[in-house]
Amino acid sequence: MTRSALWHPFTQHAIEPAPIRIGRTQGAYLETPDGKRILDAISSWWVITHGHRYPRIIDAVRTATQTLDQIIFAGLTHEPAETLASALVAMAPQGLDRVFLSDSGSTSVEVGLKMALGFHRNTGDPRSRIIVMEHSYHGDTIGTMSVGARGVFNAAYAPLMFAVDTIPFPAAGREQETLDHVEALTRDGRAAAVIVEPLVLGAGGMLIYPAWVLAEIRRITERTGTLLIADEVMTGWGRTGTLFACEQAGIAPDILCTSKGLTGGVLPLAATLATEAVFEAHLSTDRAKTFFHSSSYTANPIACAAAVANVGIWRDEPVAERVSALSRWQAERLSRFASDPRFANVRGIGTIAALDLRVRTPGYLAEAGPALRAFFLERGLLLRPLGNVIYVMPPYCITSAELDRLYDAIDEAADLACGR
């Protein structure tokens, strides 16, 4: 075979096996050209919600291409974007009345950060410090890496990153410590924004914290005039059991970022929702106060049409029921490992389940991820552990029997990894 020119994401080409070619997707499955089926237990990096090639979304894409392709979104608008924006405002937590469209989760966060700085500057109270949570992940651009956890993944780029203030992760029993930090860092009224992944820190290891902590963070930010940015890029569209995770805390942030499941995972699209106050801060006869941001593919009509179809699915189909059934199945299967000595921190929220493998041999950790990935692939299962954290985040069409297959394999893998 001729050498591929492709450079894959988060891939060490010197060590890792050649990527598996996929020729077709359907429901919860990926299929190789020779017909091998692989169960997509991580929703293709957390984007696929209803299932691959969900007919209603695919049909909407096909229909949209009969009339539109990309059009410039400055000075022009179109039906799919207008419909999507109204729907998002109606579905999102109260008060998020403005919608800025872009094309990736990282970009939606960059947009949120820029909105926050613009808000303070334009209202005559320039603030620029951003408060972030330990172990967070917000994307891989320089700006989003700056507000995320530092480590081996971004050490090379650290010289370009901006400084932030970090609050500790609200681990069980230490929630007050987190809140005290928020309080201390916002008291002088100089922090521009607090950015959080609501309820679950995804790439940081599926770390879950209680909704009341988020509610308290909201209270403190409100009192100190600090904006709250909720990065719902992963948590949105049912992942945590509710449409948006913020709902469980009964809060509305000032800025909310959504992407991944926005189009059901079919096409790249992102939205940053903001309050009227944030929008109004940029409203002026002074052009210098304009919100200066754009990507070439902002509000791509085909992607917007896919998102409108997704919104329609949430409106017309029993998605909430599917999500709650899946959540229950996940919890049932996790309970089997609750006091299993091979695992620690057995946890779940909504459709997400995670457990830490207690690896016996030190140094095994470095290889655990790739070794486990290979083990699962041999069994036709796509799982991608984060170090020793095994997590299951499937599309909502997965069946109870398919989950059984997955958890049986996790059971087997644990014996292998823990050296039994």
Measured from the CB atom, the residue of 140 and 280 that comes closer to ligand PLP is 140
| 234 lies in the site for ligand PLP, by CB under 6 A | yes
Angle at 278 between CA 88 and CA 314, to 5 degrees: 10
Residues in the chain: 420
| Binder among 43, 49, 102, 104 for ligand PLP (CB under 6 A) | 104
| 259 lies in the site for ligand PLP, by CB under 6 A | yes
| Minimum CB–partner distance for residue 109 and ligand PLP (Å) | 6
| Binder among 138, 218, 333, 342 for ligand PLP (CB under 6 A) | 138
| Binder among 80, 105, 264, 348 for ligand PLP (CB under 6 A) | 105
Measured from the CB atom, the residue of 342 and 385 that comes closer to ligand PLP is 385
Interface segment toward ligand PLP; rule CB under 6 A; list 115-123, 135-143, 315-323, 402-410:
135-143
Measured from the CB atom, the residue of 297 and 364 that comes closer to ligand PLP is 297
| Minimum CB–partner distance for residue 162 and ligand PLP (Å) | 17
Binding mask 144-183 for ligand PLP (x = CB under 6 A): ----------------------------------------
By beta carbon distance, the residue nearest ligand PLP is 105
| 106 lies in the site for ligand PLP, by CB under 6 A | yes
| Minimum CB–partner distance for residue 117 and ligand PLP (Å) | 18
| 135 lies in the site for ligand PLP, by CB under 6 A | no
Interface segment toward ligand PLP; rule CB under 6 A; list 30-38, 98-106, 310-318, 356-364:
98-106
Interface segment toward ligand PLP; rule CB under 6 A; list 10-18, 228-236, 278-286, 383-391:
228-236
| Minimum CB–partner distance for residue 106 and ligand PLP (Å) | 3
Measured from the CB atom, the residue of 102 and 122 that comes closer to ligand PLP is 102
- 3-state SS, the chain, equals CCCCCCCCCCCCCCCCCCCCCCCEEEECEEECCCCCEEEECCHHHHCCCCCECCHHHHHHHHHHCCCCCCCCCCCCCCHHHHHHHHHHHHHCCCCCCEEEEECCHHHHHHHHHHHHHHHHHHCCCCCCEEEEECCCCCCCCHHHHHCCCCCCCCHHHHHHCCCCEEECCCCCCCHHHHHHHHHHHHCCCCEEEEEECCCEECCCCCEECCHHHHHHHHHHHHHHCCEEEEECCCCCCCCCCCCCCHHHHCCCCCEEEECHHHHCCCCCCEEEEECHHHHHHCCCCCHHHCCCCCCCCCCCHHHHHHHHHHHHHHHHCCHHHHHHHHHHHHHHHHHCCCCCCCEEEEEEECCEEEEEECCCCCCHHHHHHHHHHHHHHHCCEECCCECCEEEECCCCCCCHHHHHHHHHHHHHHHHHHCCC
| Binder among 51, 118, 139, 394 for ligand PLP (CB under 6 A) | 139
| Minimum CB–partner distance for residue 150 and ligand PLP (Å) | 16
| 110 lies in the site for ligand PLP, by CB under 6 A | no
Measured from the CB atom, the residue of 221 and 259 that comes closer to ligand PLP is 259
| 52 lies in the site for ligand PLP, by CB under 6 A | no
Contact, 270 vs 233, CB < 8 A?
Answer: yes
Q: Are strands 191-196 and 227-231 parallel, antiparallel or unpaired?
A: parallel
Measured from the CB atom, the residue of 51 and 261 that comes closer to ligand PLP is 261
| 202 lies in the site for ligand PLP, by CB under 6 A | yes
| 389 lies in the site for ligand PLP, by CB under 6 A | no
d(CA 135, CA 204): 5
Axis crossing angle, helix 55-64 with helix 301-316, rounded to the nearest 10: 150
| Minimum CB–partner distance for residue 142 and ligand PLP (Å) | 13
**Interaction site with ligand PLP (CB under 6 A):** 104-106, 109, 137-139, 197, 202-203, 231, 233-234, 259
